[in-house]
Structures are given as C-alpha cells and as structure tokens.
Amino acid sequence: MVSSDARTVTQYLASLPEDRRAPVSAVRDLVNRALPAGFVEGMQYGMISWFIPLARYPITYNKQPLAIVALASQKQYMSLYLMGVYSGPGQAEAFEEAWAAAGKRLNMGKACLRFKKLDDLAMDVLADVLATTSVEAFIERYEAVRAQTVAGKKAAKKTAAKKTAKKTAKKTPAKKTAKKTPAKKTPAKKTPAKKTAKKTPAKKTAKKTPAKKTAKKTAAKKKTPAKKTAKKKTAAKKKTAAKKKTAAKKTAAKETAAKKTAAKKTAAKKKTAAKKTAAKKTAKHKTAKNKTAKNKTAKNKTTKNKASAAKRR
C-alpha cells in the first residue's frame, strides 16, 4: 500500500499526477457532501480520511481517531475504504445488490473498493451508503464489535470496576448516618427510658464489628502476596542454584572429555613415533645385510676370477 508523507489534504492532492488528481478530487467531494455531520476530514495513515475526532470519542483501541472512510491513490489503482458498510446488519448485502443494479462491476475486498477510473464507480450508490451511518450509530457498532474481542472484554471489566469504585466512594459511611438521626430530636416526655433503650440496641454496635473483620481480611490479603512473592523468590533461587550446578557439571564433564581426548592423542603420537623408529631400525639392518651380502658376492667373484686366470697361465 502506498503511503504519503503529506500533512494536509491539499498537499496530498498536489502530489498526485493529473490522471489521479481529478478522480480522487471528485470522490472526495462526494464524501464531503454525503457524510452526516460530526465526521472530520484530515490525513490519517498517509491517506485522506474522514473520522470521529478524539474530542468526541477518545476511547479507541489504538488511541487514534475512529475512521469511517479513507481515500488513497495506490500504485495500480485507487482505493476507497468504506468501514461504514458493515455498521449495520444486512447493510453490506444491500450495498452489493444496489451496486449490481447500477450495472457496475464491484471490485471490493473486506472494506476496500478498488477503481481505476471514475466511471468504474456507482456514485449514487456511494452517496446513499455514506449518508446512512451517523456518528452515534458508528460508535455504537464499534463498541459492540469491540466488546466481543479479548481486549474489549478486559477494557469493559476495567470500566465496570471504576464505576463501582466511584459508586462506593459516593456512598456515605455509617458514622454520618448516625449523625443524621441523633437522639436529641426525640423529646424525653414522649419516649420513655425503655423505648430509648430499644432504639439504641447492642445490634448497632455489633454492626460496627465487621469493620474489624474486613481489616483483618485486608491484612491477611496483604500478607498473602508477601508470602507468594517470598515463595517465588525462593523458587527462583533454587532454580538458579540448580542451573549453576548443572552448568558446573557440564563444564567438568567437558574438561574431563577434553583431557581424555588429549591423552589419547598423545598416546597415538607416541605409538606412531615408536613405529617409525622401529621401521627405521629394520631398514638399517636390511641395508647392512644387503651390503655384507654384496661384499661376499664381490669377494667370491674376485677369487673365482683369480683362479681362472691362474689356470690359464
């Protein structure tokens, strides 16, 4: 997808070639006329975008304005992103039927409508679709879809917890209610001593005792995380100690294996050296034997020659 560095819509249109600037400008004018009030035009993700400003709706998953339409000039075609087509049940099917009735070929993905020239678009159908989704309806649909996701469920739990915390903070404590109904308002003449004793029974004092229990519970809760962290730390220390031991064993095994291989190599070298020396000695003995044998044969030949020469004389 081609993304532009332009910061304004005018800069974006000025950067387009003439054959792209005219159809993009025409579609832009259509969107500005057809969209309901509340949506704002601007640059977003390198495209011309129409979105709900953060001042109106800041609760988005990526902290960016919630866009309903986007328009861009790509490398091979132009694209119009219609996120509002899926803002209501059956709206996508109605859009496809109206497009087919207009006699135009629909080249569309999930929300991206691709076109190469302005004549490829059914402008009346686009105007009707753009005008159907208001800001409130689009926010309602977004929240419904977001609530079905895992992240949306977590966010809903957080908001619910915040609401309950605010409600509990707004509630007045038991001491304030006791101040609102003092014993001075009831005159002594109308209410005898027995009745006043009934009005202030020991049950009210017993109601205050759960505060001690809750305090004990909170103290126990505070202690339990500390115990859990201590257990985690000890477990982590044991793991690190075990890892160190295993690493030391591995290094010791490697060292012993290296020593064994070195000893084998030295023994093999000694054997080969001994074999070479023995071979040299045997070769020397052989050469000495051959020399003596040659000398004997030479002596025999000389003696035979002398004998033959003496006979001839």
Q: Give the side-chain half-sphere CA count within 13 A for 301.
A: 6
Q: How far apart are CA 68 and CA 29, in angstroms?
A: 16
Average per-residue pLDDT for the chain: 78
pLDDT tens for each residue of 232-272: 777 777 877 777 877 778 877 788 777 887 778 877 788 87
pLDDT tens for each residue of 27-58: 999 999 999 999 999 999 999 999 999 999 99
Inter-residue contact 114 to 104 (CB < 8 Å): no
> Is it the case that residue 212 has pLDDT exceeding 70?
no
**% of the chain exceeding 90 in pLDDT:** 39
pLDDT tens for each residue of 54-104: 999 998 999 999 999 999 999 999 999 999 888 777 889 999 999 999 999
Which pLDDT band, with edges at 50, 70 and 90, does 174 fall under?
very low
Residue 77 pLDDT: 96
Residue 259 pLDDT: 82
Least confident of 32-41, 104-113, 192-201, 224-233: 192-201
> Is it the case that residue 205 has pLDDT exceeding 80?
no
Residue 85, class by beta-carbon neighbours within 10 Å (0-12 exposed, 13-18 middle, 19+ buried)?
buried
Residue 195 pLDDT: 44
Question: What domains are defined for the chain?
Answer: 9-151 (3.90.1150.200)
Q: How far apart are CA 133 and CA 82, in angstroms?
A: 11
